[in-house]
A and B are shown apart, each in its own frame.
Chain A
Amino acid sequence: MLDSAMAALASLADPSLLIMLLIGTVAGLIMGLIPGLGGTGAVAILLPITFGMEPPQALALLIGALAVVHTSDTVSAVLLGAPGSASASVTMLDGYSMAKKGQAARALTLAFLSSMAGGIIGAVGLTLAIPLARPLVLSFASPELFMLTVLGVSLAAVLSRGNIIKGVSAGLLGLILGMVGTSPTTAEERFTFGSLFLGDGLSLVAVALGIFGLAEIASRASQRRGEKQTITLGGGWGQGIREWLTHWTQVIRGALIGIWAGVLPGVGATAGTWMAYGQAVATAKDKRQFGKGDPRGIVGPESANNSVEAGDLIPTLLFGIPGGVPSAMLLGMLLTYGIQPGPSIITEHLDLMYLIVWSFAIASILGALLCFLSVKQLAKLTKVPFAVLAAGLVAIMLLGSFQEGGQLGDLWIMIILGVFGWLLKSTGFPRAPFLIGFVLAIPLERYYFLTDSLYEGFDWMARPGVMVFLAILILPMIWAFIKFIRARRHTNLDDGHRDEQPEDDEAPLKNSTWSLVASGIFFVAFAAALISSASFSPEARLVPQLVSTGGLIFSGILLFIETRRRLRDRTPKADQIHAEETEGIRGTLPAKAGWTLDAKFALKTFLWMTGFLALTAAFGYLIAVTIFIPAFLLIVARARLKVAIIYTGVLYIVLLALPSLLPIDLPQGWLNTLV
């Protein structure tokens, strides 16, 4: 074994292999930077090039790209709050908060180092997994996978940052949204309103980019001024590395969760990364800083999302079961070379296996190094007025999310969810549970039904794996309960910080009419889901009904709390608003004051996006961009004329050249069908 490993390493000294690895890495990094493309885009662009290469070269190229997309997709998440991929939305929670405090370089340094470590640990895991993978995968039967999804969904409570009712409501609504489309067990369409387009369910990229990316753009597009203050590097690299080293346990834990999530078919990168975040929060003693720039919230998930890709290679190579689109493409490539995945790959192609392992490790280091060198330059992006960036970001994000299915409908959904994401964000609903619910809805239902129909009664509960999961789920609840009892007995002293209501500048519309409206929307959505699920067959309706009933209860409580607060606040309200308004004009009080203006501006930005999409539908993407970009830059961002002209000109040329350089299609409009 060691011989083959060393032989594979020696073969990487071959310059042609190294060059391929380098090209792959650079391509992966670039594709990671563009929101919406990610691993799928990277492999899709490189795949045609590999036809005609020798297998080692082709593998080096593709693995190089695959290993690093999750290194660079962090950049836009941290700097702009627009995640480059669905799993980068995890890093965004703390990374972006850190960047807003002027510590973008610190966040990026932590993220890149963790990505690198995640990649290396993933590669080691891949090596070790070769003999272990079979028993590991086979020991996870439907009941264990079901418990795993339950554990994932229950993270909603952990991730709800103090407001469990809001968090659980958001998680349940995410579950309902995830069930839109074809039911996994009975193949009937649910919540599609007869639309075939919705039959495949909503696109994950569109949901993640909408709920996080567009929402962020809308709430910040009013920012016309650049920030004068220079970005502090936070004490330079030395300190960054030192700080990172103090979190080494998080790095290893994150990487292990990532590998595990990658190995199990049906869990996926996004859910795996969320689980890494969830465990970081759940095991932390002091949770107050999570979501506000806690380094642990960056380190664990970043490490996980790179090791997921390594873990994903295990079932791909050993069973021929790819866990995601990129590995499915890799599988296709292997087949064209006559390399048959399966348990026998270890005996027949051991050298290639080790080549993959080494390529993965080297690309992880190379990718992190390249990103590392550009941290200073990248961090400067935050100095550009956000409104100027927003124009291009909208165009790029919509184009990116169009690539997955080539449906304009995905983009409409993205904008609708953008509005919803903005509402959640501004009214203090955590969005993380929403996304994790969306991702896990179908696996949860699938494995519940498989468990239910393949096992008699509750026999499956007695499986050792299931009991471990039950323990993980229940023990913290008991612990919390004991703590609660104790706290009641001896005053509130040691638990004081839990009741503390931190000043939440992320949610300026909390406790306003808006949050009442948001609770109302939740309630109505759950009620509608409950009513329309009555027409499904009994098997298809069980889970949606359970979820929407739960949702009705939680959102009902919310609605009650909000209404009571409105009634109670009614008397002092007039004075308060008056006070806020005067202070708002003076610009001294940051929160609450300008909330209506804030909301107005955000909604206006969404109108701009809608207009852009309408132009696209009518005249095609190219014309839409040439109208939207200069108009947005001049009217909203008030950029200088020169900037607007160059900006639009560059985008115009890129859009002209892009389809022939990359596997990218521009959305076509009604006009395109005429000419």
Chain B
Amino acid sequence: MTSNKSSLEPPGLSPEGTDGRTEPGELPEPPKHSRRTILTAVGAFALLGTATTVLGGSLLNPPSSTEDGNFSGETLEFLIPLASGGGTDTWARFIGTELTNYVPGRPGFAPVNEAGGEGILGTNRFARSAKTDGTEILVGTASTVVPWVLGRSAVKYSFEDLKPVVVNGTGGVIYARAEAGVAGVQDLINRDTPLEFGGISATGLDITTLVAFDLLEADVTSTFGFEGRGPVNLALQRGEIDLDYQTTSAYASAVAGIVKEGKAVVLMSFGQLNEAGDVIRDPNFPDVPTVAEAYETLHGKKPSGEKYEAYKTLLGLTYTYQKGLWVPQETPENAYELLRQSSEKLGTDTGFQEKASKVLGGYPLVADTGMADRVRDAYKVSGSVRSYVTGLLADKYNIHVE
């Protein structure tokens, strides 16, 4: 420390003055450089840096030519609006690595994580300034879709201004703790004590489950604030909560075991949307009734009305078409088609399907010719659905979407 202190003279002092009081055991204070030396050196390097940035920009990234039928020499930049390490990140990196082998010209692959605002910041940035030549691709996921559906003021993007290249769904099941006195769907209603649902946040992926409960008129109270679905699953095993849902990829590790042991009961699956927009059974849970079927069991008629419409919309957005790659609407048709067809080839390749079965959670990559239209329909959120969902959040959960 002594050496530290004694060298703390003001930088303006002349070097001779400092040399005079050098302590033994220390090297002398180096002399000041002349202004000319500093300016020359810094100026030269600044010039080098500027030259590299300006010229390097165009040398390393020659003007894009994505409309000539191949992407050779290009780099596909995936904007992942969430932090690295999550499910969406894993998905995007895996798909990106594989997809670039299928795109003619074998472009490079550059995943970019731009986290912030639960995915909103990065997606906003993409909507504002993404290149429209097909080399910049947005990774969309439920985290960015739900705030858009809710109409949060922070959201400056709209999925209606984007074109889907490929989509990939997921599914899930709602299950309950057996000890809470639940043997099947019928135990959801007419209860003495309501069932406790464990959630992360009412304005996230949980919203679809909450709408399902509202549709079924289930006797449920909710506690939010869990860190993730894994901790909710543990809380259910400890008996802290009674109801939980898990997505298909987590089913085997989180739910299958405790169901086998008789500790938990699978109540229903979310189902999937078919091409006509109806709820059908999830191919991964062919024996589990869907939310729509559960409604019939409980209430003796087919579900309908605004709640059911809202449920179907959310099912499409947060499950059937949950993850996707998007490009700006202005992307030239040639470039877009090239990407879409490459994705379609990738999705139908049996080698890839085998390799990808676990990452994709048993749901295919969808990029056929009709995909864009189906996705567009699914991503049309009517005003009544919006107002019902925000109303539900406000009335039942005291959350006012700003």
CB of A138 within 8 A of CB of B225, answer no
Of all chain A residues, which has the CB nearest B34? A634
Segment among B1-9, B179-187, B268-276, B292-300 that sits at the interface with chain A? B1-9
Q: CA–CA, A340 to B357, complex, Å?
A: 11
Q: Which residues of B contact A51 (CB under 8 A)?
A: 94, 97
B-facing residues in A557-577 (Cβ within 8 Å): none
- B6's partner among A44, A200, A590 (CB-CB below 8 A) is A590
Instruction: Check A141/B235 contact, CB under 8 A, given A336-B359, A587-B23.
Output: yes
CB of A597 within 8 A of CB of B10, answer yes
Of all chain A residues, which has the CB nearest B355? A336
Q: Which residues of B contact A671 (CB under 8 A)?
A: 53-54
**Size category of the binding interface on chain A:** 35 or more
Q: Which residues of B contact A587 (CB under 8 A)?
A: 5-6, 21, 23
CB of B37 within 8 A of CB of A199, answer no
CB of A404 within 8 A of CB of B83, answer yes
Question: Is A626 among interface residues, defined by CB-CB distance under 8 A?
Answer: yes
Of all chain B residues, which has the CB nearest A660? B108
Q: CA–CA, A328 to B54, complex, Å?
A: 38
Of all chain A residues, which has the CB nearest B249? A335
B-facing residues in A312-329 (Cβ within 8 Å): 315, 319-322, 324-326, 328-329
CB of A223 within 8 A of CB of B4, answer yes
Question: Is A220 among interface residues, defined by CB-CB distance under 8 A?
Answer: yes
Q: How far is the CB of A535 from chain B (nearest CB, A)?
A: 12
Question: Is B370 among interface residues, defined by CB-CB distance under 8 A?
Answer: no
- A338's partner among B94, B240, B357 (CB-CB below 8 A) is B357
Question: Is B112 among interface residues, defined by CB-CB distance under 8 A?
Answer: yes
Question: Is A405 among interface residues, defined by CB-CB distance under 8 A?
Answer: yes
Q: CA–CA, A112 to B29, complex, Å?
A: 35
Q: Which residues of A contact B398 (CB under 8 A)?
A: 537
CB of B225 within 8 A of CB of A184, answer yes
B-facing residues in A627-641 (Cβ within 8 Å): 627, 629-631, 634-636, 638-641
Q: How far is the CB of B143 from chain A (nearest CB, A)?
A: 11
Total B residues in contact with A, Cβ cutoff 8 Å = 94
Of all chain B residues, which has the CB nearest A315? B230
CB of A138 within 8 A of CB of B118, answer no
CB of A449 within 8 A of CB of B225, answer yes
Q: CA–CA, A300 to B237, complex, Å?
A: 34
B-facing residues in A101-145 (Cβ within 8 Å): 137-138, 141-142
Of all chain B residues, which has the CB nearest A226? B27
Question: Is A238 among interface residues, defined by CB-CB distance under 8 A?
Answer: no
Question: Is B234 among interface residues, defined by CB-CB distance under 8 A?
Answer: yes
CB of A622 within 8 A of CB of B240, answer no
CB of A182 within 8 A of CB of B83, answer no
Interface 0/1 of B69-107, CB less than 8 Å to A: 000000000000001111101100110010000000000
CB of B45 within 8 A of CB of A630, answer yes
Of all chain A residues, which has the CB nearest B55? A675
Question: Is A243 among interface residues, defined by CB-CB distance under 8 A?
Answer: no
Instruction: Check A638/B154 contact, CB under 8 A, given A319-B254, A673-B129.
Output: no
Which of B58, B233, B359 has the most A CB atoms < 10 Å from its CB?
B359
CB of B29 within 8 A of CB of A634, answer no
Q: CA–CA, A409 to B33, complex, Å?
A: 34
- B117's partner among A44, A138, A197, A631 (CB-CB below 8 A) is A197
Question: Is B65 among interface residues, defined by CB-CB distance under 8 A?
Answer: no
Question: Is B241 among interface residues, defined by CB-CB distance under 8 A?
Answer: yes
Of all chain B residues, which has the CB nearest A453? B223
Question: Is B358 among interface residues, defined by CB-CB distance under 8 A?
Answer: yes
Q: Which residues of B contact A657 (CB under 8 A)?
A: none
CB of A224 within 8 A of CB of B30, answer yes
Question: Is A450 among interface residues, defined by CB-CB distance under 8 A?
Answer: yes
Instruction: Check A631/B38 contact, CB under 8 A, given A225-B3, A340-B358, A342-B253.
Output: yes
CB of B121 within 8 A of CB of A196, answer yes
Q: Which residues of B contact A634 (CB under 8 A)?
A: 33, 37-38, 41-42
Instruction: Check A40/B85 contact, CB under 8 A, given A321-B234, A652-B48.
Output: yes
A-facing residues in B140-196 (Cβ within 8 Å): 154, 196
CB of A225 within 8 A of CB of B97, answer no
Question: Is B332 among interface residues, defined by CB-CB distance under 8 A?
Answer: no
Q: Which residues of A contact B111 (CB under 8 A)?
A: 663
Q: How far is the CB of A414 from chain B (nearest CB, A)?
A: 15
Q: How far is the CB of B63 from chain A (nearest CB, A)?
A: 12
Q: Which residues of B contact A319 (CB under 8 A)?
A: 230, 233-234, 253-254
Of all chain A residues, which has the CB nearest B3? A227
Instruction: Check A590/B45 contact, CB under 8 A, given A138-B238, A197-B121, A199-B117.
Output: no
Interface 0/1 of A638-667, CB less than 8 Å to B: 111100110010001000100000010100
CB of A623 within 8 A of CB of B57, answer no
CB of B90 within 8 A of CB of A329, answer yes
CB of B228 within 8 A of CB of A321, answer yes
B-facing residues in A290-345 (Cβ within 8 Å): 315, 319-322, 324-326, 328-329, 331-332, 335-344
Q: Which residues of B contact A638 (CB under 8 A)?
A: 29-33
CB of B114 within 8 A of CB of A225, answer no
Q: How far is the CB of A427 from chain B (nearest CB, A)?
A: 17
Instruction: Check A622/B25 contact, CB under 8 A, given A223-B3, A340-B252.
Output: no
Instruction: Check A100/B5 contact, CB under 8 A, given A187-B202, A335-B358.
Output: no
Q: Which residues of A contact B395 (CB under 8 A)?
A: none
B-facing residues in A522-580 (Cβ within 8 Å): 537
Of all chain A residues, which has the CB nearest B37? A641
CB of B359 within 8 A of CB of A335, answer yes
CB of B114 within 8 A of CB of A406, answer yes
CB of B32 within 8 A of CB of A623, answer no
Q: Which residues of B contact A619 (CB under 8 A)?
A: 49-50, 53
CB<8 Å pairs between A and B, sample of 26: A141-B235, A184-B225, A196-B116, A199-B117, A200-B115, A222-B8, A224-B30, A225-B3, A225-B29, A227-B25, A227-B26, A319-B253, A332-B85, A336-B90, A343-B257, A344-B257, A405-B115, A409-B116, A446-B227, A450-B235, A626-B46, A627-B49, A634-B42, A652-B48, A672-B57, A675-B54
User: Knowing that A450-B235, A587-B5 are A-B contacts, what are 5 other residue pairs whose CB atoms are under 8 Å apart, sorted by A's residue number?
Assistant: A187-B202, A319-B253, A623-B46, A641-B41, A672-B57
List residues of chain A with CB under 8 Å of any chain B CB: 40, 44, 47-48, 51, 100, 137-138, 141-142, 182, 184-188, 196-197, 199-200, 220, 222-229, 265-266, 315, 319-322, 324-326, 328-329, 331-332, 335-344, 404-407, 409, 446, 449-450, 453-454, 505, 508, 537, 585-587, 590-591, 593-594, 597-598, 600-601, 604, 619-620, 622-627, 629-631, 634-636, 638-641, 644-645, 648, 652, 656, 663, 665, 671-673, 675
List residues of chain B with CB under 8 Å of any chain A CB: 1-11, 21, 23, 25-33, 37-38, 41-42, 45-46, 48-50, 52-54, 56-58, 83-87, 89-90, 93-94, 97, 111-118, 120-121, 124, 129, 154, 196, 201-204, 223-228, 230-231, 233-235, 237-238, 240-241, 249-250, 252-254, 256-257, 355-359, 398-399
